[in-house]
Amino acid sequence: MSAAGPDGVAISDRVRHLLRLADTSLVLAQRLGEWVGHAPAIEEDLGLANTALDLLGQSRLLLSYAGELEGKGRGEDALAFLREEADFLNVTLAEQPNGDFGDTIVRQFLIDAYQLELYERLVASKDARLAEIAAKAVKETRYHLRFSSAWLVRLGDGTAESHARVQASLERLWPYSRELFDADELDRQIASAGIGPDLATLHDAWSSRVDAVLAEATLRRPADTPYLWYGKQGRHSEHLGYLLTELQYLQRTHLGASW
């Protein structure tokens, strides 16, 4: 039972919407954090770390806001470290394992292109605070997309080996992209209240961007598959459990401690 705000959307639904955005950035940042010290060159370590830092910053702002709206005294850390898998609302694509550098770049590219379209539209959100967060995130995401697109092109149009590897990465990760644009009841409510964008429009814009880069990368756009993932509803792949185990270990072991 949750009060509705002036726009008719229940507070709990607005919180869920914010958590979808926050958790996607958080989980993706967590994945990128695993790369540090293991990238193909020092400079790529720095580039991936830069993206991780930006995504962490976004998730902190969004989580803090979600916690305030919720009004139960949960701050960014309580939300990040003490929720269970079913309460995490990131898109399933974000939690996929790093694999090799190609897998990581494909995952990053698909999400960067999605986040850029999303944040560009959220700048006009009726939720002023969300609009402000999005305005900052847009600038960062432009740079992330530049980095991941450039690498996708180098790998796709590099050597025969890199082309084969990254085409395979694309085939493997493409099925997770459907979830980004499949509107459920929450997405529809958020869109009609003017808080967030219409996902169909988002999909078209994303699709054009992706096609342009894939063409330059000489990569083949995979066919859509019918299976739909539901990470944004809390039903995840097997990977999230392990990821949260690492993420949450210290706080769950030392309950109530300050760090």
Partner 1 sequence: MYTQGLLEQGGKGVAAAAVEDSERLRRFEARIEAEEKIEPKDWMPDAYRQTLIRQISQHAHSEIVGMLPEGNWITRAPTLLRKSILIAKVQDEGGHGAYLYSAAETLGISRAEMIDQLLAGKAKYSSIFNYPTLTWADIGAIGWLVDGAAIMNQIPLCRCSYGPYARAMIRVCREESFHQRQGYDIMLKLARGTAGQRRMAQDALNRWWWPSLMMFGPSDGASQHTALSVRWKIKRFTNDELRQKFVDFTVPQAKFLGITVPDAALHWDESAARHHFGEIDWAEFHEVLRGNGPCNRERLAARRQAHDAGRWVREAAAAHAAKHAARAAAA
Partner 2 sequence: MSAARDWPLYEIFIRARGGLDHKHVGSVHAADAAMAVEHARDVYTRRQEGVSIWVARSSDIVASDPAESDALFEPARDKIYRHPTFYDIPKEVETL
Residues that bind partner 1 (CB under 8 A): 26, 30, 33-34, 36-46, 49-50, 52-53, 56-57, 59-60, 63, 76-77, 80-81, 100-102, 153-155, 157-159, 161-162, 165, 246-247, 249-251, 254, 256-259
The amino acid at 200? A
Report how far apart, in Å, the C-alpha atoms of 172 and of each of 14, 99, 152, 169, 221 are. 32, 11, 15, 5, 12
Nearest to 33, CA basis, from 50, 10, 52, 16? 52
Size of the site for partner 2 (CB under 8 A): 11
Which of partner 2, partner 1, none is residue 147 near (CB under 5 to 8 Å by kind)?
A: partner 2
Q: Reduced to 3 DSSP states, what percent helix, strand and coil does the chain have, rounded to the nearest 5?
A: 70, 0, 30
Is-contact 32 55, C-beta < 8 A? Answer: yes
Which of partner 2, partner 1, none is residue 38 near (CB under 5 to 8 Å by kind)?
A: partner 1
Q: Give me the least distance between CB of 179 and partner 1, in Å please.
A: 24
Stretch near partner 2 under the rule CB under 8 A, chosen from 43-51, 80-88, 190-198, 237-245: 43-51
Backbone angles phi, psi at 78, to 5 degrees: -60, -40
Is-contact 58 25, C-beta < 8 A? Answer: yes
Q: Binding residue for partner 2 (CB under 8 A) from 101, 147, 174, 206? A: 147
Q: Binding residue for partner 2 (CB under 8 A) from 7, 10, 33, 57? A: 57
**What does the binding site for partner 2 look like in residue numbers (CB under 8 A)?**
41, 43, 46-47, 50, 53, 57, 146-147, 150, 154
